[in-house]
Structure 1
Amino acid sequence: MLFSNIALLTPGQPSREGMFVATKGGKIAFVGERRPEGNFGEEYDGRGKLLIPGLVNGHCHVPMTLVRGYGTGLPLQEWLNTYMFPYEDQIHPQDAYWGAMLGIAEMLRGGVTSFSEQYMFADSICQAVVESGIKCNFSRSLVCFDDDTYLESDRRQEAIRNCETYQNAADDRLKVEFAAHGEYTTTEKCIRDIVELAHRYHTGVQIHLSETKKEHEECKGRHQGRTPTQYLRDCGFFDLPALAAHGVWLEEGDLEILAEKGVGIAYNPTSNMKLGSGFAPVRRMLDKGICVGLGTDGAGSNNNLNMLEEAHLGLLIQSGHTGNCQELMAEEMLAMATVHGARNQRREDCGRVEEGFRADLAVLDLDRPHLTPLHDLTNQLFYAAQASDVVLTMVDGRVLYRDGRLTTIDLERVLYEARRANWDVLARLAAARQQG
C-alpha cells in the first residue's frame, strides 16, 4: 500500500505533512516527501489523515473484557478476592476465547497492533491472536501458594505446553513468555522454577511489581526488609528479558536495579487510579534510562482497552500529581505508547514509521471537530484524539480494520458470544455460591 499526502508522526522526529509511506512484504519500504518509484499496490489518499506507528498495549488481561464494570470501589487485593477470583474460577476456555476476541476487536478498532498479555487460558487466547492477525507477547500467569503441588500442577504444565506449541507462531506474531502473577501470589520455589523455564526455552518473563503500597510493604516484612524488586533480583528473575507491570511504589534503589538489569515497565495509569493504588514515578524511571511502555491493564480495572485515552490520562495525572506541567510530555508519551512497548516485547523492528521496520501502522481521521484546528499534531493526538478517530489499522502490512469494519473478526458474532459467555459465567457463579 502507498499512503500519499499524509501527515506523519513517529517517535524522535518532528511531525511532517504531505508525506509518502509505502509498505511491501510486511515492512515499510519507503518514507519520503516525494512519491516513490515502483508499484506498491493500492494508493491510500492521506489528505486529512494522520499516520502513526501502531500502538502497543504494554500490559493487558484480554479475556477480562467479560468483567468490564463488574465490581468497583475496592482496593486491589479486596477487589481481586471479592469479585475477580470467584468470577474467573467459573470461566471456561470457550468463554475466554470470546472475551479475548472482544478485547482484540476493541484494540484493533483503536489502533493497537500488539499487546503483552498475562492470563490463564493459553489455548483460547493464542487461538484468538492467530485468527485475528494482531501481535501478542503471551504469558500464562502462574500463582502458587503450595510448593508440594506446584511442579505437577496443571497450570505449570499448561505454561510449558503453551510455550512449546505457540512460540513464534503465526509468522512470529505470537511470542510466548513465562509469568509469575506477583511476589505476593507465588512462592520462592515457584519464582525460581519460572526463571529456570524461561532460560530453558530462551524467552522472557512478566510480573506485576509493587502495584500497591500494601503489596510492597508486606513483601519487606516477608523477606528480611527486601522490596519486591530486590527479592526478584535475588531470585534471578531479572537476569532474563523482563517486563514488570505497574511499579507504582518503587523506591530509589529499585529504580537502580531495574535500570541496571534492563527491566521494562508498563505504566497503567487508569487501573492505578481506579483501584486507588497510587502514582507511578514515571519521570524518575525515564531519567534512570528504564524503558517505560504504556498499558491499559484488564478491562475489569479500566474499563476499556483504549490506548489513546490511557495516554491522555497518563499525561494528565503526572502533571496533576507533581504540580509540574512538564513532568511528562506528549513527545515522550508517543515513544512510550509505541517503540518503548515494542522494545519491551523484544520486537526491535516495530514501533516506528521508518524504512525497514514492520508495517504495523494506524491511521486517524483529522477532519473532526475536536481535532480542529491543528496547532501541534503530537499534543492533539494525546490530548484530543479518540479511539473512534482511527480509520485504519495494519499489522505486517495487512489491513485488519478499515472504516468501521474488521477484516478478520465477525464483530456481530463476537458481541453476541461475549454476552452469552458472561451470562453463563454469572449463572455458574450463582450456583457455586448457593452450594458453598
Structure 2
Amino acid sequence: MSSLVLTGATVLTMNDALDVLEGPVVVRDGVIAQVGGRAPDGVPSIDLSGCVILPGFVQTHIHLCQTLFRGAADDLALLAWLRQRVWPMEAAHDEASLRVSTRLAVHELLRTGTTSVLTMETVHGTDVVLDTLASSGLRATVGKCLMDRDDAAPARLKQPVATAIDEALQLRAAYDGAGTGRIRVALAPRFAVSCTRELLEATAAVSTTHGMLVHTHASEQRDEIEVVRAIAGMGNLAYLADTGLATPRLCAAHCVWVDEAEQALLAERDVKVMHCPGSNLKLGSGLAPVTEMRARGITVSLGADGAACNNRLDMFDEMRLAATLQAVRLGPGALPARDVVWMATRAGATTLGLADAIGQVTPGFRADLVAVDVSGPLTAPSSDPYSTVVYASRGTDVRLTMVDGEVLVRDGVHQRVDAQALGHEARAEARRLMRRAGL
C-alpha cells in the first residue's frame, strides 16, 4: 500500500464536532488512516507548515462543456443568454472542443482546491467528457443534458424522450464506477422550460428504478418561472413535484425565487439545493434565501456554475460571496464563515450521496484533501482559520490538492498538466468552435 504523511498544518476536520487539530494527516492507499498524534516513522512526507488542511471542496453545479465559452456570453439575462449564445455554442461542440473544455475546467478546479463535482454536460458527446474525466484524477458525477422542447433551441440539442433516456442509461452502463470508482453517472434534465412533462416523468421513473441522482435547474430567474407557469399552470417546484422528481435524489441548482411554500416542499421532500452566488449575480438573477433554506434543514451546497456565466470556477469566490450576500440580505453573521465551509464540503458530499466517503478529514474517509497556504502577509494574522479560508484566501493560495490519495497539485502546480500549452490549445479550439456556431 502507498503511504504519505502531510505534516505541519492545522487541520479543519469538518467532522461532526468540527474539531480543529494540529498534527499529521496520514494517508494510506487512498484513504485517511490517521489525523493527529505522532507521525509514523519511515513514511514519505510533505511539509505543509503554514497551511490549513481541509476536505477538498465539492462543487455541486458545474458545466464543464461551457469552459470554452468563458467571456463569450456576458451581459445577458438567463433566457437570452441560453438562446442567443450558450445553446448555439453547445450545439457546435465536437469531440476535440469538448475534450479541451473539460481539461481546462479540471485544471482550474483542481488548482483552486475542488476535488469533486456534479456536472451537467450538453446533449451530445458526454462520453468524451467522461473519458477525459476518468483519467483526470477529479471525482465527478456527470449527466448528459436532456432536452426535448423550446423552439429557440437548435435542433441538435433536442431529442425524443426514448432516445435521450436510452443514451443516458448507456452512459451509466459504460462509465459508472470508471476512474477507479471516482466517476458516476446522473440524469440531467436541463430545466422545465426545455423539457416536456413526458421527459420529466420519464426521468423520475428512471431515477427511481436505478437510484440515480437527478441534476437540474430550478427557479433561477423570474422570467423562467413565468414560462414554466404558462407551460404547466403551476410554480416551478410544484411542477417538478407533480412529475415525480421531487425526491431526495433531486439536486436543484439556484432556487433563487422560492417562497415559503416552495421552501417547505424542498424541506419535506429532502430536495438538495445548489447555491451559485457568482452566477446569480452575473446573470442578474437575484439573491437566494440561503439562510432561510438552511434553517428549514434543506441541504444547501455550493457551485460556481459554468465559465459562461461566472467566468471563474474558484470555490473561494463562491464561499466569500455566499457569506457576504446573506449579510446584505439579513445582516452580518447571517451565514458565518464556518457554515460556509460546511456548505463547501459536508453539504456537497451529502448532495452527491457520498457523505460516508468524502467531506471530512476523518480516518476511513477517502483522501480528498486541500492544503491552503495562510502563511503570507495577505492572510495574516489568520487567528480564525474559517474566517481566513472564506474571507481572506484565494484559489491561488492552494498549495496542494489530493484526490484518492494522489497529489494532483503540489506547490500550486498541477502535476499532470502543462498549463501554458493547455491555454494555447483551448484558445485555438474556442476560435474553431465560435466559427462553427456562427458567432
Fold shared by both chains (TM-score > 0.5) = yes
Identical columns (%): 31
Q: Which residue of 2 aligns with 1:287?
A: 295
Q: Deviations over 1:105-133 (max 9, x none)?
A: 00000011000101123112111211111
Amino acid at match of 2:223: K
Q: Which residue of 2 aligns with 1:342?
A: 349
* Distance apart, 1:299 and its partner CA: 0.5
Structure 1 residue matching 2:280: 3-state secondary structure: helix
Instruction: Kindly indicate whether the alpha-carbon contact (under 8 Å) linking 2:13 and 2:21 is maintained by their aligned counterparts in 1.
Output: no
Amino acid at match of 2:311: N
Instruction: Kindly indicate whether the alpha-carbon contact (under 8 Å) linking 1:269 and 1:314 is maintained by their aligned counterparts in 2.
Output: yes
Q: Which residue of 1 aligns with 2:154?
A: none
* Distance apart, 1:84 and its partner CA: 1.1
CA distance in 2, matches of 1:46, 1:403: 10
CA distance in 2, matches of 1:374, 1:420: 42
Matches within 5 A, 1:180-195: 180-195=189-204
Q: Which residue of 1 aligns with 2:180?
A: 171
* Distance apart, 1:213 and its partner CA: 1.1
CA distance in 2, matches of 1:331, 1:135: 24
Instruction: Kindly indicate whether the alpha-carbon contact (under 8 Å) linking 2:5 and 2:27 is maintained by their aligned counterparts in 1.
Output: yes
Picking from 80, 103, 106, the partner of 2:105 is 103
TM-score by length of 1: 0.93
Give the stretch that moved more between structures: 367-376 or 335-344.
367-376
Q: Which residue of 1 aligns with 2:11?
A: 8
CA distance in 2, matches of 1:373, 1:36: 27
Instruction: Kindly indicate whether the alpha-carbon contact (under 8 Å) linking 1:113 and 1:393 is maintained by their aligned counterparts in 2.
Output: yes
* Distance apart, 1:56 and its partner CA: 0.7
Structure 1 residue matching 2:402: 3-state secondary structure: strand
Structure 2 residue matching 1:283: 3-state secondary structure: helix
CA distance in 2, matches of 1:193, 1:70: 34
Amino acid at match of 2:340: M
Structure 2 residue matching 1:347: 3-state secondary structure: coil
Structure 1 residue matching 2:375: 3-state secondary structure: coil
Q: Which residue of 2 aligns with 1:424?
A: 432
Instruction: Kindly indicate whether the alpha-carbon contact (under 8 Å) linking 1:131 and 1:408 is maintained by their aligned counterparts in 2.
Output: no
Query: Is it true that 1:129 corresponds to 2:136 in the alignment?
Result: no
TM-score by length of 2: 0.93
CA distance in 1, matches of 2:399, 2:419: 16
Give the stretch that moved more between structures: 16-25 or 69-78.
16-25
Amino acid at match of 1:122: T
* Distance apart, 1:200 and its partner CA: 3.2
* Distance apart, 1:346 and its partner CA: 0.8
Query: Is it true that 1:75 corresponds to 2:77 in the alignment?
Result: yes
* Distance apart, 1:414 and its partner CA: 2.2
Picking from 388, 394, 397, the partner of 1:380 is 388
* Distance apart, 1:15 and its partner CA: 6.3
* Distance apart, 1:143 and its partner CA: 0.9
Amino acid at match of 1:184: V
Instruction: Kindly indicate whether the alpha-carbon contact (under 8 Å) linking 2:189 and 2:216 is maintained by their aligned counterparts in 1.
Output: yes
Unaligned 5+ runs, structure 2: 151-157
Amino acid at match of 2:382: L
Q: Which residue of 2 aligns with 1:353?
A: 361
Q: Which residue of 2 aligns with 1:391?
A: 399
Structure 1 residue matching 2:378: 3-state secondary structure: helix
Query: Is it true that 1:23 corresponds to 2:27 in the alignment?
Result: yes
CA distance in 2, matches of 1:182, 1:14: 36
CA distance in 2, matches of 1:187, 1:54: 37
Instruction: Kindly indicate whether the alpha-carbon contact (under 8 Å) linking 1:203 and 1:241 is maintained by their aligned counterparts in 2.
Output: yes
Amino acid at match of 1:110: T
Q: Which residue of 1 aligns with 2:63?
A: 61
Instruction: Kindly indicate whether the alpha-carbon contact (under 8 Å) linking 2:248 and 2:272 is maintained by their aligned counterparts in 1.
Output: no
Q: Which residue of 1 aligns with 2:50?
A: 48
Structure 1 residue matching 2:333: 3-state secondary structure: coil
CA distance in 1, matches of 2:126, 2:188: 12
Aligned length: 426
Q: Which residue of 2 aligns with 1:333?
A: 340
* Distance apart, 1:385 and its partner CA: 0.2
Instruction: Kindly indicate whether the alpha-carbon contact (under 8 Å) linking 1:145 and 1:187 is maintained by their aligned counterparts in 2.
Output: yes
Amino acid at match of 2:137: G
Q: Which residue of 1 aligns with 2:155?
A: none
Unaligned 5+ runs, structure 1: none
Q: Deviations over 1:185-216 (max 9, x none)?
A: 10100001111222333311111010111112
Instruction: Kindly indicate whether the alpha-carbon contact (under 8 Å) linking 1:4 and 1:35 is maintained by their aligned counterparts in 2.
Output: no
Give the stretch that moved more between structures: 3-12 or 47-56.
3-12
Alignment RMSD (CA, Å): 1.9
